[in-house]
A = this chain, B = another copy of it.
C-alpha cells in the first residue's frame, strides 16, 4: 500500500438536500397499516411516537428532494464530506482488473454512518420542543450516534441496549454513557414489554425486536419524549442518502461511474443511503448499475424471507409494514455483526427487491471476517463486522471480474470501523468463530406464523 487516492468535496458541495427515492419509484411502497384497525396510516398517526417532521418524511412519496436543515448540515460539516477512497491495496491483493472504491463513513466522530440520521432526528425533536428521546441499540453503533446527537442538541437520551451486547460489548455502552445517555439492558423490568419477555424466559438475552418494544413503550408513556430509530424506516434511509449523493460527486471527480454498488444490510439505511442516489439514474436515465445488499446467512430475510405485512418489533407496538421478513419473532443467531440481526427489511427496499431493481447476497460469518482481515491488511482500516459483509460481497464481485476479464467499477460503503469489535477479530484469528446458517425448517416455522395480509 502506498498513497491512496482519496476524494473530498469542498464544503460548499456537501449536499443541501436529501434524495427521496419514493417519489420516483416505478411502484410506490404499500402504506404502513395501523396494527389495530388495519387501515393505512397517515403522518399524523405517527406523531405520538416520532417527531412531526420525520413522521411527514416517513409518509412522503411525492417530494424528490427534501431540504437538510442548516443546523444538521452544520454538524455534518464536522466530519463530512467523508472520503471516497480507491482501494488500490485491495485490488492488488485480489489481483483483479476491477476498480474498487469505498465510501469511508467510519470517520464520523462515533465511527459509523449512523450519525447522519441521528443528527437529523435529534434536531427535529429539539425544534419541536421535545426534551427526551429514546431508542434501542444492538451492538451499539446507533445508540452511540443518538447519544452524541442528543448531547449536541441538548436532549436527554435513554437507550435500551440488547442485553447480550450490553454485557459482551461494554465499550459501546461506556461511549453512550460518556456522551451522557442513560443505558438499560433489554429486556428490562422497566417496561411491560420487557417484563413479558423476562417472566416467560428469565435468561432471555434480548433482541432488537424486544428493545424496540421497550423504547416505543417508554416514549408513549413519557411526556415530551419521542422515539427514534436507527434503520428500517424510510426517513432514516432518506437521511442516509447524503452518503450516495456525496459519492456521486466524488466518483465524478475520479472520472468513473459505478457498475456495482454494494452495502451490508440490516434494516436497509446504509444500503439505501449509498444506493438510492445512483439508483435514480437507473430509474430515470436508463443506467444499468447493479445494487447488491449483503446480508448474513444467519438472518437471511432478503434471500429467504417472504414479502408480507409484519411488525417491526416483538411486542407488536409498531405499525404493520410491508417488508421482506423472517417473522417478527425470528431470533437470529448471535453473530458479531449485531447491526444485521433484524428480522425485516425497510418498506422501500422490500418493494425495490420485489420489483427487481436490486439484488441480495448472503454472506457467512467466516467469509465476512476473511474479507475484513484482507481489507484491514491491504487498506489499513479495520472494518466493523457489519461492513465486513459488504467487503465480502465486493470480493466476490472482484473475483468475478477477474474471471471474466472485466474492469468493472465497484463501489461499496464502509459503514463503520471495528475498533470496538476487536473481540470478534480475536475469535476469528484464534479459529473459534463459526458460521451460522438458518435451517429451512426454522425459516419455514417462523414464516408460517406470519399473518397473511397481502
Contacts and interface: CB of A to CB of B under 8 A. Distances in A.
Contacts of A422: 170-172, 174-175, 178, 420
Given A75-B3, A381-B109, A178 B376 contact: yes
Nearest to A77: B3
A78 interface: yes
Interface string A347-384: 00000000000000000000000000100110011100
A176 B429 CA distance: 11
A153 B66 CA distance: 47
A408 B325 CA distance: 59
Given A151-B377, A380-B78, A381-B109, A175 B419 contact: yes
A160 interface: no
Interface string A324-365: 000000000000000000000000000000000000000000
Given A6-B77, A178-B376, 5 more contacts: A2-B75, A3-B77, A174-B422, A175-B425, A177-B425
A282 interface: no
Interface residues of A, number: 39
B109 A107 contact: no
Interface in A191-219: none
Given A380-B109, A380-B152, A74 B2 contact: yes
A423 interface: yes
A426 interface: yes
Given A177-B429, A419-B171, A74 B377 contact: no
A265 interface: no
Contacts of A273: none
A172 B4 CA distance: 24
Contacts of A425: 174-175, 177-178
A423 B171 contact: yes
A179 interface: yes
A374 to B, nearest CB: 11
B429 A178 contact: yes
A31 interface: no
A175 B423 contact: no
A148 B419 contact: no
A349 B394 CA distance: 49
Nearest to A180: B377
A69 to B, nearest CB: 12
A129 interface: no
**A1, A170, A171, A174 — which one has the most chain B CB atoms within 10 A of its CB?**
A174
Given A71-B2, A381-B109, A419-B419, A177 B77 contact: no
A312 interface: no
Nearest to A4: B78
Given A152-B1, A420-B419, A170 B426 contact: yes
